[in-house]
Amino acid sequence: MHKNRVPDWTSGMVFALAVALVAILVACSEEESVVRVDFSKREEVTIPKPREDLTYAYLPQYSPAVSYLRHHRMVEYLAKATGLSIRQVFPSSFEEHMSLFGQGRIDISYTNPFVYIKIADRYGAKAFARIVEPSGNDTFSGQVITRADNTDIETLEDCRGKRWIATDESSAGGYLFPLGLFWDHGIRKADFAEVNFAGGNQERVVYAVYSGEYDIGTIRTGTLDITRNRIPIREIRVVAESPAYPSWAYATRGGMDQRTVEKIRAAMTALASDNPEHRAILAPAGIVRIVPAQDRDFDPVRALMAKISGELEE
Amino acid sequence: MRVGFLSALSFRGKINLGIAAIVVVFGLFTAILVSNLVTGSLLAESKKRGSSMVLNLAGRAEEQLLTRDYLRLKKTVDQYKALGETVEYAFILDKDGLVLAHTFADGFPSGLKKVNTEPDGDAVGILLLDTGRLLVYDFSAGVHIGDNRIGTARIGLSRQEVQRTGRRLFLAIFAITGAGALLSLILGSFFARNVTRRINLLRASAEEIMRGNLDVQVGTARGRNCWEVMNCGLENCPAYGDLRRRCWYMAGTLCPACANTESEDKRESCKSCPVYQQNAGDEIQSLAEAFDVMAATLKDHIGELETARRGLARQEQLLHTVFDVTPDLVSLQDERLVYRLVNKAFRRYFSLSGEEVVGRTDKDIFPSGQGVLSEDENRQILETGMPLSKEIYVQRGENRRWFHVVKVPVYDGEPADSARPPRIIGLLLTARDISVIKRYQEQLIQSQKMEDLGKLAGGVAHEINTPLGIILGYSQILLEDLPKDSREREDVAVIEKQTQVCRKIVADLLGFSRQMESSWAEVDLNESIREVVALVRHIFQQERVFIEMQLDDGVPPIRGDKEKLKQVWLNLLSNAFDAIGADGTMVIRTKLCKHRRRVVVTVADTGKGISQDHMAQIFDPFFTTKPVGAGTGLGLSVSFGIIKDHKGKISAVSPAPVEYLGMGQEDGRPVGPGTVFIIELPLTDEGLPEDECLDI
């Protein structure tokens, strides 16, 4: 006789639900491999002291990383070619670069001619080489840039009364050469609404103009190519370019062993762009070739400095 | 789980248990699943965060590594350590694997810098470390400048914190689930109580209905009545004033919204009706209303059924009464010839009860031969559809009766209905007792025969009477002429005597044929009987035959021929004496029937009686069982004619019932089978009444 009972599927359903629940829970629990590390064993850490190497410093017109990328192959090459122990140091500013050089903590200084003249005058730096720019010239210029869509600024004359950002007070292409250009056009520093400096960083100048923070900016030639990947340079327009001046200089302290200087110069001047290995060293640094130099090669810059000495602040 | 427990649980308990089980199971399921998912997601996020942090640290350490600014490096890793409790450690290795800055307070774990040191390219290496105290995700990213790796950044994030978050989430969800279950139980109990209370009301009403109370009202009155909502004023609408049924349960509602709508579409049309929208409740309310309607409809139907049942009972009683009152034997058999109905006369005749007949066949209730014959006959009627009518003579012991039997097939419809040919569903039998008719019929035949014979005998007697008169005359002349004591005179005397006998015979024949003249006057029957008895009593006593008279003094005189009646009494007494021979008793009784329209005279004897073979012939002329010369066989025939002339009736019963034999039995005198002749004479000119005299 049929009995009035709850059908058997009730218990089956409960069982199926439990199985599903367990299956889901099992599926949800994912085990990872574990590496046992004994944290109870400790050791004291000692900071390694820098070796007594020759130091190679690139005037920080870019960030230390860019400086590294541009010159670490050069440093490695020089060390290898000369047998000297050379390491790159990264001053954080033009002033620090000059200060470190003065303190003897920079043995090989790669600077713009303006800074070179400063450290030569102050600390007896001796130029022993200078570079040939990617343009093929052993000179370079400064550029006045503005936003491409800024119709207020078409000529240098239009820069008068505008806000100006320069690279650094010790920048050659980024300040000194444009300052001379403005001087030659009768525009004085006081004629600008504002003059500010980007701490030596060329990229920062381009970006400040691009962002509209400043009406005009002054950079050295070649900067736009370097910043091409980070800033849309089609938005930047070059208003004017200064006359060309001797390009960057390699200098050493006055007291450095002359044989060491010669080794270094020989290694540097041996670099040739048609050599793929050498080109891999020169190209990142923005150098086509390195040629021997002497202090008098930079006299045009000294002349400029003298001409606008009133505008330069010490 | 025992299902019996569930079956025994109350409906409210089932709902509460079901809700709680569902909430708890799914809450547990959700808590576990969500906490696992969240834990997994948090772990993934933690990995992303760790990867992002270590890449960020590597980026920030880049310049500090280049500039060998280890103080800033230390500050940087400390800043990462300060980002939260989940950050267990952060440190920077140089390209040679030397630790430049770290966040450990009491020395650097020496084993740590050996693991997870070389992630592929720019990718972040992630390794789960077991420090013995906790599990830590170790993230490693190279500090690159260009293609040059100048160091490695490492950050350790506690996995325990993520798992603690997952557990806290699990507990939170489970706590919410518990609260939800509790709330569900409370709300479920509230709603279940609301539902079960109404279901219990339905159950109680169902029990009331089972107890016969159909005046239940389960559905609660809600809202306004339909005639109030519609303001229709249709007082002749069936729904008007009916508080027990919703208009949508009302057949024949006149509401314009419902009129001319098929019943199956009515509920659909209700959905747009304001009455339905205002008053329709939930499913249980609908069920309760339907229940009320069902009860009301049931009550109506039961009332109608009760009325119909009473009518049927009355009809059945009437039918049974008619059926049973009918003196004919009536029976109804079904198509299998099983008795379905028999009337009282049938049962009484066959001495059977209703239970012994109904549900049985002829083979069951009749002797085998008769049962088989009857069933074969009945089956033939069922097969042919031809009715049967016949007269049968039935003898059951001493009971002999004639029946007129009619058997007709019973159809389930009108035979004329050609669309649906009728089917034979039974057999109706009626058997009428025609014994009396038969007897009358035989008596009529007998009467006609007697009349014809009387005419014949009268004619013959008339022709013979004249020559007999001449013979008698000449014989008497010769006797006067012949000398006394002569032989011739004796011979002629014999001729004269025999001629006298012949004249008497002829006189009887003439009397039989009513050739004699009648003398009609007031006749005292008792007196005529006493005169005859006085005449023969002495002669009979010589043979010890005694006559007993039980004469009813209340018998009124009748109009008739006294002499002829005396001849009847004399014939009957003479026949009785001949039947007794010697040593016997005769009883003559007169009686006035109750309705005072007839007189009955009975003449009984204790003689040898009349055989059944002779019974039908005793009134025939010249029929006699006496020896040749002892009787003419005309006595009873003449008596039959005389009684017939008096519009009466004469019959005989043999053996005679003992109540007619008077005191003879007490005297110890021998009692034969005996015979009783019963003479009925009318007191009115109309003759004998049709009804029987029950006093005979």
Residue A166 and residue A174: Cα distance in Å, rounded? 6
pLDDT band at B222 (very low <50, low <70, confident <90, very high): low
Verify whether the Cβ–Cβ distance A69 to B145 is below 8 Å: yes
User: Which tokens in the block code for residue A247?
Assistant: 């390009």
- Structure letter (DSSP) for residue B600: E
Verify whether the Cβ–Cβ distance A38 to B37 is below 8 Å: no
Choose the mutation target among B36, B43, B67 for the interface with A, i.e. most A CBs under 10 Å: B67
Residue A197 and residue A204: Cα distance in Å, rounded? 9
Find which of A48-52, A125-129, B313-317 is predicted with most confidence, using mean pLDDT.
A125-129
B590 close to B553: Cβ distance less than 8 angstroms:
no
A122 close to A217: Cβ distance less than 8 angstroms:
no
Q: What are the two backbone dihedrals, phi and then psi, of residue A173, each rounded to the nearest 5 degrees? A: -65, -30
Q: Using CA coordinates, name the residue in chain B closest to A17.
A: B25
Query: Beta partners for B93?
Result: B99, B152
Verify whether the Cβ–Cβ distance B33 to A63 is below 8 Å: no
Verify whether the Cβ–Cβ distance A35 to B32 is below 8 Å: no
Residue A145 and residue A178: Cα distance in Å, rounded? 10
Location of structure tokens 């709680």: B20
Verify whether the Cβ–Cβ distance B63 to A65 is below 8 Å: yes
pLDDT band at B632 (very low <50, low <70, confident <90, very high): low
Q: What are the two backbone dihedrals, phi and then psi, of residue B305, each rounded to the nearest 5 degrees? A: -65, -40
- pLDDT of B203: 84
Mean of pLDDT values over B181-207 = 82
Average pLDDT, chain B: 83
Mean of pLDDT values over A9-22 = 67
CB proximity list for B233: less than 8 A, separation 6 or greater: B227
Asked if the model's pLDDT at residue B691 lies above 90, the reply is no
A72: nearest CB among B29, B100, B148:
B148
Positive or negative, the Cα torsion across B22, B26, B27, B29?
A: positive
- pLDDT of B419: 65
Strand A34-36 versus strand B125-130 pairing type? parallel
Enumerate the residues of chain B whose CB falls inside 8 A of the CB of residue A6. 3, 6-7
Mean of pLDDT values over B81-89 = 86
Asked if the model's pLDDT at residue B151 lies above 80, the reply is yes
pLDDT band at A76 (very low <50, low <70, confident <90, very high): very high
Asked if the model's pLDDT at residue A3 lies above 50, the reply is no
Residue A243 and residue A303: Cα distance in Å, rounded? 13
Sheet with B399-411, side-by-side order of all strands: B339-342, B329-334, B424-433, B399-411, B388-396
Residue B347 and residue B353: Cα distance in Å, rounded? 6
Q: What is the pLDDT of residues A265-278, one digit of tens each?
A: 999 999 998 899 99
* B269 or B487, greater pLDDT: B487
Asked if the model's pLDDT at residue A158 lies above 90, the reply is yes
Q: Using CA coordinates, name the residue in chain A closest to B36.
A: A28
Verify whether the Cβ–Cβ distance B130 to A36 is below 8 Å: yes
Query: Beta partners for A56?
Result: A88, A108
Residues B356-387 as b/e (b if ≥16 CB within 10 A, e otherwise) read ebbebbbeebbeeeeeeebbeebeebbeeeee
Asked if the model's pLDDT at residue A115 lies above 90, the reply is yes
User: Which tokens in the block code for residue B283?
Assistant: 């499913």
pLDDT band at B265 (very low <50, low <70, confident <90, very high): low
3-state secondary structure B327-374: CCEEEEEECCCCEEEECHHHHHHHCCCHHHHCCCCHHHHCCHHHHHHH
B51 close to B125: Cβ distance less than 8 angstroms:
no
Positive or negative, the Cα torsion across A36, A41, A42, A43?
A: negative
Residue A247 and residue A135: Cα distance in Å, rounded? 11
- pLDDT of B308: 92
- pLDDT of B466: 83
Choose the mutation target among A2, A3, A30, A47 for the interface with B, i.e. most B CBs under 10 Å: A47
Least confident of B75-79, B81-85, B212-216, B563-567: B212-216
Asked if the model's pLDDT at residue B307 lies above 60, the reply is yes
Verify whether the Cβ–Cβ distance A10 to B3 is below 8 Å: yes
Residue A71 and residue B385: Cα distance in Å, rounded? 133
Verify whether the Cβ–Cβ distance A34 to B4 is below 8 Å: no
* A227 or B318, greater pLDDT: B318
Asked if the model's pLDDT at residue B671 lies above 70, the reply is no
Mean of pLDDT values over A35-47 = 85
pLDDT band at A6 (very low <50, low <70, confident <90, very high): very low
B447 close to B644: Cβ distance less than 8 angstroms:
yes
Least confident of A73-77, B39-43, B473-477, B482-486: B39-43
- Number of other CB atoms surrounding residue B442 within 10 Å: 11
How many Å lie between the alpha carbon of A38 and the closest alpha carbon of chain B?
A: 6
First and final C-alpha spacing in chain A: 115
3-state secondary structure chain A: CCCCCCCCHHHHHHHHHHHHHHHHHHHHCCCCCEEECCCCCEECCCCCCCCCCEEEEECCCCCHHHHHHHHHHHHHHHHHHHCCCEEEECCCCHHHHHHHHHHCCCCEEEECHHHHHHHHHHHCCEEEEEEECCCCCCEECEEEEEECCCCCCCCHHHHCCCEEEECCCCCHHHHHHHHHHHHHCCCCHHHCCEEEECCCCHHHHHHHHHCCCCCEEEEECCHHHHHHHCCCHHHEEEEEECCCEECCEEEECCCCCHHHHHHHHHHHHCCCCCCHHHHHHHHHHCCCEEEECCHHHHHHHHHHHHHCCCCCCC
User: Which tokens in the block code for residue B543?
Assistant: 């043979």
* B233 or B628, greater pLDDT: B233
Asked if the model's pLDDT at residue B630 lies above 70, the reply is no
Positive or negative, the Cα torsion across B245, B246, B249, B255?
A: positive
Asked if the model's pLDDT at residue A4 lies above 50, the reply is no
Q: At what angle do helices B635-645 and B562-580 cross, to 10 degrees?
A: 150
- Number of other CB atoms surrounding residue B410 within 10 Å: 16
Mean of pLDDT values over B488-517 = 77
Verify whether the Cβ–Cβ distance B94 to A48 is below 8 Å: yes
- pLDDT of A93: 86
Verify whether the Cβ–Cβ distance A44 to B107 is below 8 Å: yes
Residues in chain B: 696
A28: nearest CB among B36, B94, B131:
B36
- Structure letter (DSSP) for residue B83: T
DSSP per position, B255-305: -TTTTT--HHHHHHHHTT-HHHHHH---HHHHHHHHHHHHHHHHHHHHHHH
Q: What is the pLDDT of residues A184-222, one digit of tens each?
A: 999 999 999 999 998 888 889 999 999 999 999 999 998
How many Å lie between the alpha carbon of A293 and the closest alpha carbon of chain B?
A: 29
Residue B25 and residue B13: Cα distance in Å, rounded? 17
Enumerate the residues of chain A whose CB falls inside 8 A of the CB of residue B131. 37-39
Q: Which of A222, A183, A219 is nearest to A304 (CA)?
A: A183
Positive or negative, the Cα torsion across B594, B600, B603, B608?
A: negative
Q: Which of A167, A119, A168, A117 is nearest to A145 (CA)?
A: A167
The pTM is what? 0.49
B25: nearest CB among A17, A69, A90:
A17
Verify whether the Cβ–Cβ distance A35 to B130 is below 8 Å: yes
CB proximity list for A176: less than 8 A, separation 6 or greater: A114, A142, A301, A304, A305, A312
List the 32-51 stretch of B: residues with Cβ below 8 A of A: 32-33, 36-37, 40
User: Which tokens in the block code for residue B201?
Assistant: 């009301």
Find which of A101-115, B41-55, B224-238 is predicted with most confidence, using mean pLDDT.
A101-115
Q: Which of B605, B593, B577 is nearest to B670 (CA)?
A: B605
Q: What is the pLDDT of residues B418-446, one digit of tens each?
A: 666 788 899 999 999 888 888 778 777 77
Query: Beta partners for B94?
Result: B151
Residue A109 and residue A120: Cα distance in Å, rounded? 11
Asked if the model's pLDDT at residue B1 lies above 70, the reply is no
Inter-chain contacts counted by CB atoms under 8 A, chains A and B: 118
- pLDDT of B665: 46
**Amino acid identity, position B53:** M
Choose the mutation target among B70, B108, B149, B174 for the interface with A, i.e. most A CBs under 10 Å: B108
- pLDDT of A21: 65
pLDDT band at A292 (very low <50, low <70, confident <90, very high): very high
Least confident of A163-167, B108-112, B247-251: B247-251
Mean of pLDDT values over B514-527 = 77
- pLDDT of A304: 93
Find which of A24-38, B168-182, B565-579, B614-628 is predicted with most confidence, using mean pLDDT.
B565-579
Verify whether the Cβ–Cβ distance B132 to A36 is below 8 Å: yes
Strand B329-334 versus strand B424-433 pairing type? antiparallel
Percent of chain B topping pLDDT 90: 16
Q: Cis omega (within 30 of 0) on the bond before B655?
A: yes
Percent of chain A topping pLDDT 70: 90
User: Which tokens in the block code for residue B262?
Assistant: 């098929």
Choose the mutation target among B64, B112, B177 for the interface with A, i.e. most A CBs under 10 Å: B112
Enumerate the residues of chain A whose CB falls inside 8 A of the CB of residue B33. 24-25, 28
Asked if the model's pLDDT at residue B248 lies above 80, the reply is no
Asked if the model's pLDDT at residue B160 lies above 70, the reply is yes
Q: At what angle do helices B435-481 and B487-512 cross, to 10 degrees?
A: 150
- pLDDT of A26: 60
List the 295-314 stretch of B: residues with Cβ below 8 A of A: none
* Strand residue runs (E) in B39-167: 87-94, 99-102, 108-109, 125-130, 135-145, 148-158
Positive or negative, the Cα torsion across B454, B456, B462, B465?
A: negative
Q: Using CA coordinates, name the residue in chain A closest to B89.
A: A39
Enumerate the residues of chain B whose CB falls inside 8 A of the CB of residue A68. 66, 145-146, 148, 150
Mean of pLDDT values over A111-115 = 92
Q: Using CA coordinates, name the residue in chain A closest to B116.
A: A35
B131 at A interface, C-beta within 8 A: yes
Q: Which of A91, A95, A71, A70 is nearest to A171 (CA)?
A: A95
Residue B645 and residue B447: Cα distance in Å, rounded? 11
Residue B645 and residue B210: Cα distance in Å, rounded? 78
Mean of pLDDT values over B234-263 = 74
A90: nearest CB among B66, B102, B106:
B66
Verify whether the Cβ–Cβ distance B6 to A10 is below 8 Å: yes
Q: Using CA coordinates, name the residue in chain A closest to B38.
A: A28
